[in-house]
Every structure is written in C-alpha cells, then in structure tokens.
Amino acid sequence: MIKKLLPVFVLGGMIALAALFMLNRPETTRLAGPPPAGIAVETLTVTPTDYQIILQSYGTVRPRTENTLFAQVAGQITAVSPNFRAGGFFEKDEVLLRVDPRDYEASASSARANLVATVQALQEEEAQAEQVLQDWQRLGDGEPASPLALRKPQLEAARAAVDSARAALKRAELDLERTQVRAPYAGRVLQATVDAGQIINTSTELAQIYAVDVVEIRLPVNNRDLAYIRLPESYRHDANTATDLPEVTFTSRLVGEQRWTGRIVRTEGAIDTGTQQLYIVARIDDPYGRKAHGRQPLKINEYVTAAIKGDIVPGALVIPNSAIYQGSYVYVAEDGVLRRRDIRIAWQNDNEAIIDKGLTAGDALVQTPLGQVITGTPAILAGKTNAVASGPDPERMKTP
C-alpha cells in the first residue's frame, strides 16, 4: 500500500516546493535607461528684411523689325555691295544692289519727250480756244456759245493728256530709281538669296534683313510670380506711357559669359495655350553699337537666361530652401528641444523662400540637415547666425 502511494507523495512534494519558490521570488531593481542624446544643430535667427524679388526666365534673341527684301523691277544685277552678305551691317539708304538701268533710262527719256509733246499740244489748244472765244464775242451777236464751239472738250482732253504724261514720267523715273535697291533702315543681313549677274523679276526675294536699333526677347513668367512684378499693360483708350519699366539682366554663355541689360517693354495679350503661362517681351537697345564693344555681339536666335527685377517685399521672412522639408515644414530650436513647424511658402526660387505662415521673427531656424526627428528631441546649439537675407543685392540679379 505504501509503495503504491509513494509516487503521489513525491509529486505532491515537488508541487509544494515549486509553489514555495514562486511565492518567494527575489525582487530585481529595474534601472532607468540612459537619457536620450541631444542632436547638435546649427541655427539661424529668422529676421524680417526688405527682400528684392528676382524672377528667373529664359528666351531667344529676336529682331523687333525683320523683313524680306523684294525686287521691285526686273533685270540683271550688275553690282552688289560688300555688306550684302550674311552678317553684314548696312546703314539706312545704303545701296545694296544695282540692277541694269539702261532699259529704265530709255523709258524715262521716252516719257519725258512725251510730256514735252503733250504740253505743247495743250498750249496750242489753249491758243485755239482763246481765238475762238474772241471770234465769238466779235461775231456771235450776243448769243451764248456752246462748249463745243468754244473747244472746251478739246481743251480738257489736252490737259488730261499732260497729266497722263506727267504720271508716266514719274512712274518711269521711279522704276529707274528702283534699279538701286536701298536699305530701308540701318540693319544687318540674315540671309542673301541673290548675287551679281543674276536676272531677277519683280517680287524676287533678295534677302532677309533686320533692324539693329533694338532686339527683343520673349520671356515666359510663372503664374505664381505675376503678383511680384509690375508689368507694362496697355488699355484700349490709354496710351502706354509707362516709364518705370522692370529691369532685366541677360546672360549669354555662347562665348564665355556675357551680360546685357534691358527692360520689359510690353506684355502679350494672351496666355500661351501650350504652357498656360503669360509671356512678356524685353528689349535691349543698341545691341551692336558702341556700348557693345568688348563683348560678343548677340546673335539672332541665341539662347539667353534672364533675371528680372521684381517688387521689393517689405518685412519678408526669408529662409534657405535647404531648411525646408518636403516643401511643407521646418524645424526650430525652442526651449532646448527641436520642434517641427508646418509652414506656407509665399514665393520661392532655387535658393530661398519667403514664408508667410508658420514662422515668426526671432525663431531659431535649424539649418542642419535632419532626418525624421521627433518633436521634443533635445537640441545642442552648435552655431547661430542672424538674418537670413540681407535685402536687395546686385549679385542676385545674376543668373545661376
């Protein structure tokens, strides 16, 4: 009987011993973890400043006045000006081409002789009309004479013949004058399509030319930038007398780096259907004159970048783009910890942004690049600077 109950006693003893251990477990003291480490950051103080808006754009150089030069008389080209070549400069009224004038000289001589003959015929008719009038007054018994009897129709016909002869002479002299193809303005040849010895007809295309007094550049403007620039606008009943035209600095990198200064002169009247942007037109005066010496002359169709001087924003809060995350928030150091601030960007270029919501003057903006940081993380200020932007700066007019 005892042997049969022995396993039960052993099992019960083991259960009792296990229960005793469970009820009398040693207590352990949990140590607190180390305090979270601080992040060393550099900050700058957000300071209001009067900020000069500089808008970036681009375009190609185009002439304001461009024409196709046509022949107005037919004949053989007998002489060509040395300037009548692609790239050649010419002055107003300079003779660019000469057409064989002999046929036109003969026509002018013939018209001149015809005019002399018709004038003589008119004088004879006037003398006859005067004689008829005198005879009628002496022999007409006071009866009124008919116009035909007084030779008035013949006199009018003679006068009309003189007028016609004068017009023919004027036309012949004009054709003779047109054998010398003269420049309509001071300009430059884009492309010459004829040369000496070639026989041309009326309306033959001679060359593509353009005026060199000014060139223009058509520039697209982002819709978000329109609120920060005063554009020259025209209205139906008002003359465009704007004098304070926005200044533009153009940069060409065709040969080295060349800079040109111009002005916005007009705003186009339609939004481009492809880009849904407004285009404005800038002008560079006298691009090939004395003030262009020492620089590579601008070429038609040359690509240039543009820095357009816009408005000055008073009291703007300007921060570098590098401090903005995902275009919507920044970090500031406040009371020794990092705090995330949601912001709203009013205007932005490649380097800086104007903030109109989320920051206030005096905030310590974190400019050290951070990853995903939890608000409340301790901050160790490694460096601190003051104003973000220093206001209008001529260097900012340069394109990047």
**Final residue before a domain boundary, out of 311, 336, 370:** 311
Q: Is 325 within the bounds of a domain?
A: yes
Does 228 share its domain with 113? no
225 and 190 share one domain: no
236 and 361 both lie in a single domain: no
What gap in Å lies between CA 350 and CA 56, rounded to an integer? 9
Half-sphere CA count of 228, side-chain side, radius 13 A: 23
CATH code where residue 294 lies: 2.40.30.170
Quote the Cα angle for 253-254-259, to 5°. 45
Same domain, residue pair 116 and 147: yes
User: Which one of 178, 199, 228 terminates a domain?
Assistant: 178
CA–CA distance, 206 with 192 (Å, rounded to integer): 6
- CA neighbor of 319 nearest in space, from 45, 39, 41, 40: 45
303 and 234 within one domain: yes
Contact 283, 262 (CB under 8 A): yes
Identify whether residues 152 and 226 lie together within a single domain.
no
**Are residues 155 and 260 both part of a single domain?**
no
Consecutive 10-residue averages of pLDDT for the chain (400 residues): 58 65 58 62 92 95 95 95 94 96 95 94 84 71 70 85 94 95 95 95 94 95 91 74 82 89 92 92 91 84 95 94 92 91 93 93 91 85 55 48
Q: Is 133 helix (H, G, I), strand (E, B) or coil?
A: helix
Please check whether residue 189 is in contact with residue 90, taking contact to mean a CB–CB distance below 8 angstroms: yes
Note the pLDDT of residue 400: 43
The per-residue DSSP string of 30-82 comes to: PPPPPPPPPEEEEEEE---EEEEEEEEEEEEEEESSEEEEE-SS-EEEEEE-T
Partner residues linked to 354 by β-bridges: 318, 347
- Residue 78: give the domain boundaries: 66-99+183-212
- Same domain for 191 and 120: no
pTM of the model: 0.73
- How far CA 184 is from CA of 67, 188, 205, 253, in Å, comes to 10, 11, 15, 32
Kindly state whether residues 126 and 165 are assigned to the same domain.
yes
Based on the domain organization, do 243 and 169 belong to the same domain?
A: no
Are 151 and 233 part of one and the same domain?
no
CATH number of the domain bearing residue 91: 2.40.50.100
Q: Are residues 80 and 201 in the same domain?
A: yes
Other CB atoms within 10 Å distance of the CB of residue 280 = 25
Q: What is the dihedral of CA 284, 290, 292, 298, to 10 degrees?
A: 70
How is residue 240 annotated by DSSP?
A: -
Is the alpha carbon torsion for 230, 235, 240, 241 positive or negative?
A: negative
Domain tally, the chain: 4
1 within some domain: no
Does residue 322 belong to any structural domain of this protein? Answer: yes
Host H or E run for residue 383: strand 379-385
Residue 18 resides in a domain: no
